[in-house]
Amino acid sequence: MRTWESERLKIDRIAAELGRELINDMDETIFRKYKLKRLKSVSITTVNRDFESVRAMFRKAKKKKWIKEVPDFDGFIEKSLENRRTVTVTNIDEKKILKEARKLITTSAPRLYALIIALRDSGARPNELYPVNDYSEDKSMYEPVRWKDLFDEKGQFRNITKLVSYKGKLREERLAVITERMKKAFLELWRFLEHSKNVTPANAARLDNMVFPHTTYKKSWDIVRTAAGYPDLRLRDLRRDWVTRLGRLGYSDKLAQRGAGHKKMQTSFEYTEFDEAAALQAKLLLDKDNR
């Protein structure tokens, strides 16, 4: 889910390139020049999003009768060229990653291990767990998980918590699970923070504090993914096969879609992968049916 800040920056970037052109004078030559320039530094997916925003602006201009026709953007929005970002993290991959992350618990990154497990098991987006860079300037536009969200009135871990996300200025809530291994990782982190002498009050083990207070974990994550042998794996990729994992276990596709925070079934489809584990599971079922 893209943040309000990132959307604002995108509009600013488009305005910097096209803002001096009169709307009635814009034609394919101007759009083609913009596209070629953008493709030198970003992917086709990002360029497509730029042109989707420009098209929306033109549609609004036509609605207000500032222009008579909306230009044809079909040649500039090429969805077929986008790479599908489905990522499968196998059990072996996960074990390697967690092994490397555990090495940093008592040194440079005590929270990363718990963050990785939370991303794997909860279906949460990174910006629902910690204040990503896009939100660092406006603290009213993020509500990451706090310790009080994890514990009940008796001081025991909950089985379910709530995640808060923003799309533009629209605030949305959904339920998320707290698995047993998440509880174990959170408890280990809490105890470490309680006994650590190098933790500031704002980052200490206190109910009102955020579990993951830092705006980025890039440096420590880079150490872990490189050591584990996955230098291109992104933190947000860790949740991308969440729907796939539940699907293999026979869970409802529609419920998994809601659990992942997807509004459209197409998004869930793009997150679902017929991976090796799913293929082997299919083989076992077919072999059983053939008997």
Mean pLDDT of 22-48: 81
For the cut 50, the answer to whether the pLDDT of residue 183 exceeds it is yes
List domains and CATH numbers for the chain: 4-81 (no CATH), 91-237 (1.10.443), 241-291 (no CATH)
pLDDT band at 160 (very low <50, low <70, confident <90, very high): very high
Span 2-30, mean pLDDT? 75
pLDDT digits (tens, 9 = 90+) for 63-121: 888 888 887 777 777 665 555 555 678 889 999 999 999 999 998 999 999 999 999 99
State residue 79's pLDDT score.
Answer: 62
Task: Assess contact for 211 and 114: CB atoms under 8 A.
Answer: yes
Comparing CA positions, the residue from 257, 234, 286 lying closest to residue 89 is 234
For residue 242, give the nearest of 99, 92, 96, 125 by alpha carbon. 125
Span 253-276, pLDDT tens digits: 888 888 888 877 777 766 677 777
DSSP 8-state class, residue 151 = B
Is the predicted pLDDT of residue 1 greater than 50, yes or no? no
Counts of helices then strands in the chain (DSSP H, E): 12, 2
pLDDT for the residue numbered 188 = 97
Mean of per-residue pLDDT scores for the chain? 84
Q: What is the predicted pLDDT for the residue at 34?
A: 84
CA atoms of 224 and 218, how far apart (whole Å): 10
d(CA 184, CA 162): 19
User: How many residues would you count in the chain?
Assistant: 291
Q: How far apart are CA 69 and CA 26, in angstroms?
A: 12
What Cα–Cα distance (Å) separates residue 238 from each residue in 167, 248, 277?
21, 17, 16
What is the structure's pLDDT at 236? 87
Cα–Cα dist 129/133, whole Å = 13
Range name among 15-24, 102-111, 229-238, 250-259 with the lowest pLDDT average: 15-24
The alpha-carbon radius of gyration of the chain (Å, integer) is 22
Q: What is the pTM of this model?
A: 0.71
